[in-house]
Amino acid sequence: MSNSGIKKIFEQFSAEGTLLDGSPTGSGHIHTTWLIRTAEEDRPDYIVQKINHIVFPPVAEMMGNIQKVTGHISAKNKTSTNGKVLEIIKTRAGTSYYTDPEGNHWRMYRKISPGISYDVVPNNKVAFEAGRAFGKFIGDLRDLPANEIYPVIPGFNSMEMRFEQLKKAVKTDPLKRVSEVKKEIGYAFDRIDDMLVISSLEKEGKLPQRITHNDTKLNNVLFDNDDKAVCVIDLDTVMPGLSLYDFGDTIRTAANTAEEDEPDTRKINFSLPVFKAYSEGFLKETISFLNTYETDHLALSAQYMTFIMGIRFLADYILGDVYYTTRYSNHNLDRCRAQFRLMQLMNEKYTDTRNIIKQTLEKYRTGNTGKP
Ligand code: ADP
Ligand code: GN1
Ligand code: MG
């Protein structure tokens, strides 16, 4: 979009300052995001997003959720100097988003500055900090009543629903792509039962519903220049869910030494030091309230979230790339293969990851840091 196009959008909002320029930013797969720089040095910059309303049809309810969640977190952290909360900038009409004459919905946030996002972990401190930030996020929302949050995408991380969607895609096969991906489909069928363990525990009520983020990939937390996590972003999917979803999805992205869509699967490794650092950050904030079913399944949740993303990318490939933003024709297939490779590596190190969780819990419970 041209500068004049984005300026027209910017002018709908009650922002401070005048637009210097607007440019695409970030590597999210869902919305279209621009960074707006203002001309005045003493005015904030902004983030403008064209909301993907195919993925999120109940836009008003989604924005209502974000207002509730950010309001709740701000009220809890009034005196804290660490960390920031995502801030919605209202339109001049006082609403939380603007609908243009073509029916597109737009929103604006204050830009977190510096707000560095990483697709790949640069060091273990970033992993620890991400764990702390996402763990604190669940903790801060513990007393927000679940019925106040609208289920924007019901079943978002439900393995049963996602597997049904894959089976339906295979059956429909609109582009005759299924014959190309027999191996990947076979892998999905081989591993599904192991993954449904978490779904069964959820049904039995052993894994409690909490208000969770549900899309905790590493680039949905922003860092400052000292690698301190400063703000959890991308709050569109905040809904009742499992703590395991949030733990697992950051491990999926952070403990992968390569990009999420790495086409050369030999470059993919699963990093135990990153797993450990993230677990330490996450458990520091959550050990006081997670139950033993949750802590017992943290290691498995990494595979659960990696698998669910693998089957979602696979289904989207089969259906003709209708959901995720793709940059080339096999992009979703590369993403799927990379996820399944990562999952194999996680499975090979499953015992190690379970031990890391055990040792971390022990360390926090006894205060024994293991140092002489
Ligand atoms: P998507 O759902 O498409 O991933 P996000 O809300 O995560 O959309 O935004 C995409 C990217 O834009 C983020 O990964 C981040 O780099 C950047 N971004 C979003 N909101 C902010 C913000 N308030 N401040 C700074 N950067 C932001
Ligand atoms: C999408 O919005 P973004 O890019 O942070 C997706 C997540 C997937 C992720 C895979 C609403 O996240 O569920 O985990 O891509 N978000 C939605 O990278 O589907
Ligand atoms: Mg995002």
Q: Look at residue 102 and tell me whether its pLDDT is greater than 90.
A: yes
Q: Measured from the CA of 112, which atom of ligand 1 is nearest?
A: 24
Q: Measured from the CA of 32, which atom of ligand 1 is nearest?
A: 3
Q: Which ligand is nearest to the CA of 223?
A: 1
Instruction: Give residue 31 CA to ligand 2 midpoint distance, Å.
Output: 10
**How far, in Å, CA of 137 to CA of 139, rounded?**
5
Report the CATH architecture of 3-110: 2-Layer Sandwich (3.30)
Given the structure tokens 């924007």, which residue do they identify? 152
Instruction: Give residue 237 CA to ligand 1 midpoint distance, Å.
Output: 14
- Ligand 1 probe mutation, 31, 47, 213, most atoms within 8 A of CB: 47
- Both structure tokens of 8: 């027209």
Instruction: Give residue 139 CA to ligand 3 midpoint distance, Å.
Output: 21
**How far, in Å, CA of 240 to CA of 211, rounded?**
4
In this structure, the residues whose C-beta lies within 6 A of any atom of ligand 2 are 28-30, 55, 215, 217, 220, 234, 237, 260, 309
Work out the end-to-end distance of the chain between its first and last CA atoms, rounded to an integer number of angstroms: 59
Q: What is the largest CA-CA distance in the chain?
A: 67
Q: Look at residue 371 and tell me whether its pLDDT is greater than 70.
A: no
Percent of the chain clearing pLDDT 90 (strictly above): 93
Q: Look at residue 126 and tell me whether its pLDDT is greater than 80.
A: yes
- Residue 2: pLDDT band (50, 70, 90) is confident
Nearest CA to ligand 2 atom 13: 215
pLDDT of residue 78: 80
Instruction: Give residue 29 CA to ligand 1 midpoint distance, Å.
Output: 10
Q: Look at residue 157 and tell me whether its pLDDT is greater than 70.
A: yes
pTM confidence score: 0.95
Domain spans of the chain?
A: 3-110, 124-366
Q: Which CATH superfamily is domain 124-366 in?
A: Aminoglycoside phosphotransferase (APH), C-terminal lobe (3.90.1200.10)
pLDDT of residue 367: 86
Q: Measured from the CA of 29, which atom of ligand 2 is nearest?
A: 4
- Ligand 1 probe mutation, 117, 230, 323, most atoms within 8 A of CB: 117
**Tens digit of each residue's pLDDT (9 = 90 or more) over 311-327:** 999 999 999 999 999 99
Q: Do the two domains 3-110 and 124-366 of this chain adopt the same fold?
A: no
In this structure, the residues whose C-beta lies within 6 A of any atom of ligand 1 are 25-26, 28-31, 33, 47, 86, 109, 111-112, 115, 117, 219-220, 222, 233-234
Three-state helix/strand/coil letters over the chain = CCHHHHHHHHCCECCCCCEEEEEECCCCCCCEEEEEEECCCCCCCEEEEECCCCCCCCHHHHHHHHHHHHHHHHHHCCCCCCCCCCCEECECCCCCCEECCCCCEEEEEECCCCCECCCCCCCHHHHHHHHHHHHHHHHHCCCCCHHHCCCCCCCCCCHHHHHHHHHHHHHHCCCCCHHHHHHHHHHHHHHHHHHHHHHHHHHCCCCCCEEECCCCCHHHEEECCCCCEEEECCHHHCEEECHHHHHHHHHHHHCECCCCCCCCHHHCCECHHHHHHHHHHHHHHHCCCCCHHHHHCHHHHHHHHHHHHHHHHHHHHHHCCCCCCCCCCCHHHHHHHHHHHHHHHHHHCHHHHHHHHHHHHHHHHHCCCCCC
Contact (CB, 8 A) for 214 and 137: no
